A and B are shown apart, each in its own frame.
Chain A
């Protein structure tokens, strides 16, 4: 192996690939060659750095220069200036990393976005090349598996996981060690270890980033789980919508087998373990554990009643454990550093860290990993860099279609499993969508209901028909035909669906409605009583009006209006005929004097 003086790390995650990162690798290699540097500088394609808003991201070590929004045309400059002459290209470096006083650059750990983060599950993302098992091994990879197989009994492994206090990161928050314990106590010759990588929660992409950036950590953890419960076969159920992750997992599985880290007699012990990939086919309900297993078996992914729980009767009727990607990513670290270490992070009942996908109306969209108990304010204002365009923070949505909205008044809530449940939301898989004053909460509830109506598998009546009726009432409200009684009806129906549905999808589907009713009831009332949408989102309740004192009478809007609803005399205020207006908003965009407002 030759020694390189510099390393160029290029993010190969989906966010950066989509914003043009894929072209950068070839370009860097070509430019390095053109400058005769190909034996001095190594280009590494890594996993996600987390700061997707600034993608494509390129980091050059040893300096640690963090280049953001790098385009193909910028590569030549970075190579000739930075890598050849040693002068960092300040124009392209992330602003926050430049020390204003002396023009030097700061370490990434001092930047607001990274300062409060603690990377455990994401420890290797953006650090190693995920397609090279040797790089994973160099960062203590497969050390935990070796320790477990050669020094610990299965019971000891389960005890460490129990003592660590690790809870499932997929949403429910069930103690992982307990789950393993149940499965280990089920007596059967054949058991299975499954990984839920069917990340269906819209706006959440942490599992994908782990699989893309550090696939071996999941494989290692699954083998550890297999040893703990006595299983020799694992399955990863992954969304087909994640082609890069599927490809890297397949590479990782092949490499692990080649190195004897998966397969027969691992590390010369009599423990054998194999992992197969199963591709999902776009059904949100398959994130539910029993539905996921039905889908692996090759059927329509419909859930079934529990008990029997999968730990007793799971895949093909055999005892099975199913954990989420992020949960697995924590396991090797817990084994290596011990339960006591893990216990020192987080809150009393929620240990460790949680990865969130920050999205929506926030400056630093991307992936963040924070210790449990960090407040929403710290996430939004410090790590996330606040709401863009000077708008006001209105609410944050966690838990996707199963979760709820956290209003601005509760922004100091610590983020952990129990605090979130107590305010009517849930951790979920970790999507955190920020909304500002321009978002209508009734519309958001409607958006999530459209999703659940679409994704309800149809097996049980409360979910299949109940969610449809919920959506109809919400549509009625957003069209201005709602009444106050509809609000009571909504609440009643929500509780019936929660109580009577078969699986987690139906039981949590009303949460977006309940939590917006709880914290933004005034907005619902405005829709049904005043027939107004305060945020100006619901078209039927919004009127475009020309403010007389601002209108110069230029007629630009009248010419733009597709239906001829605007009339007036030149140099005098124009008016909009509300009966003709189709509320397309073209006039508002056209007006140079901001004279047209939504009311």
Chain B
């Protein structure tokens, strides 16, 4: 179930102009909706209903269909992400090497569940599908930083680095 976004929509005029130019580029292309959503998420960081409405109007697609597509694919997010996005790989290779324990540890440390975001907007937590770095299993990422071959015991020290 999609949770209500905690943080109100704060889109800027510049973001809107960017989105409009993306829509204009793809408008007459077959199958334009998904590429536009990808780029919209890059612009805004997530896809709140305000952004979906602009896309629906711009492409001439019913809002219901836009919402249907957004909620079908896990890459698209209705909620804003934290400043630091923690993503724990739950692919098979990582799972058999204990990434489940790592996820539990992060839940404990952040106090949020999977797909949640801390109230201060600092951390969000995701459980991802295989990121293909199975040689480093178990793996998690915080934004662009990749941590591999870790155990649950290593987590508090790593987490502390992002806290201030």
- B residues within 8 A CB of A201? 130
A295 to B153, CA, bound (A): 41
A200 within 8 A of B: yes
Chain B interface residue number, banded: 35 or more
Which residue of the partner chain B has the closest CB to A316? B30
CB distance from A371 to the nearest CB of B (A): 23
- The reply to whether A242 and B132 form a contact with Cβ atoms under 8 Å apart is yes
| Complex interface residues of chain A between 471 and 503 (CB less than 8 A to chain B) | none
B136 within 8 A of A: yes
- B residues within 8 A CB of A397? 92
- The reply to whether B129 and A200 form a contact with Cβ atoms under 8 Å apart is yes
Take A18-B146, A240-B75, A316-B30 as given contacts and tell me if A300 and B69 are in contact as well, using a CB distance cutoff of 8 Å.
yes
A241 to B75, CA, bound (A): 9
CB distance from A36 to the nearest CB of B (A): 34
- A residues within 8 A CB of B128? 241
Of B34, B72, B146, which is within 8 A of A19 by CB?
A: B146
| Complex interface residues of chain A between 280 and 302 (CB less than 8 A to chain B) | 280-284, 295-301
Which residue of the partner chain A has the closest CB to B149? A19
CB distance from B45 to the nearest CB of A (A): 15
- The reply to whether B92 and A282 form a contact with Cβ atoms under 8 Å apart is no
- The reply to whether A359 and B93 form a contact with Cβ atoms under 8 Å apart is yes
- B residues within 8 A CB of A260? none
- A residues within 8 A CB of B92? 202-203, 359-360, 397, 400, 431, 433, 447-448
Of A279, A282, A316, which is within 8 A of B35 by CB?
A: A279
A280 to B75, CA, bound (A): 9
- The reply to whether B33 and A279 form a contact with Cβ atoms under 8 Å apart is no
- The reply to whether A435 and B96 form a contact with Cβ atoms under 8 Å apart is yes
| Complex interface residues of chain A between 40 and 90 (CB less than 8 A to chain B) | 51-53, 55
CB distance from B84 to the nearest CB of A (A): 18
Take A283-B74, A361-B97, A439-B96 as given contacts and tell me if A55 and B135 are in contact as well, using a CB distance cutoff of 8 Å.
yes
Of A297, A300, A359, A365, which is within 8 A of B30 by CB?
A: A297
B46 within 8 A of A: no
Which residue of the partner chain A has the closest CB to B95? A447
- A residues within 8 A CB of B60? none
- The reply to whether A205 and B75 form a contact with Cβ atoms under 8 Å apart is no
- The reply to whether B96 and A360 form a contact with Cβ atoms under 8 Å apart is yes
- The reply to whether A19 and B148 form a contact with Cβ atoms under 8 Å apart is yes
CB distance from A498 to the nearest CB of B (A): 21
Take A14-B131, A14-B133, A295-B34 as given contacts and tell me if A282 and B93 are in contact as well, using a CB distance cutoff of 8 Å.
no
CB distance from A233 to the nearest CB of B (A): 11
- The reply to whether B35 and A278 form a contact with Cβ atoms under 8 Å apart is yes
- The reply to whether B129 and A282 form a contact with Cβ atoms under 8 Å apart is yes
- The reply to whether A296 and B31 form a contact with Cβ atoms under 8 Å apart is yes
Among B32, B65, B91, B128, the most chain A Cβ lie within 10 Å of the Cβ of: B91
- B residues within 8 A CB of A51? 135
Which residue of the partner chain B has the closest CB to A284? B129
- The reply to whether A281 and B73 form a contact with Cβ atoms under 8 Å apart is yes
- The reply to whether B38 and A281 form a contact with Cβ atoms under 8 Å apart is yes
Of B75, B95, B97, which is within 8 A of A281 by CB?
A: B75
A203 to B97, CA, bound (A): 12
- A residues within 8 A CB of B90? 202
Q: Mark A161-205, 1 if CB is under 8 A from B, else 0.
A: 000000000000000000000000000000000000001111111
A510 within 8 A of B: no
- A residues within 8 A CB of B34? 278-279, 281, 295, 298
Q: Mark B129-144, 1 if CB is under 8 A from A, else 0.
A: 1111111110100000
- Using a CB–CB cutoff of 8 Å, the interface residues on chain B facing chain A are 30-35, 37-38, 65, 68-69, 72-76, 90-93, 95-97, 128-137, 139, 146, 148, 153
- Using a CB–CB cutoff of 8 Å, the interface residues on chain A facing chain B are 14-15, 18-19, 51-53, 55, 199-205, 208, 240-242, 278-284, 295-301, 316, 357, 359-361, 365-366, 397, 400, 431, 433, 435, 439, 444, 447-448, 457, 589
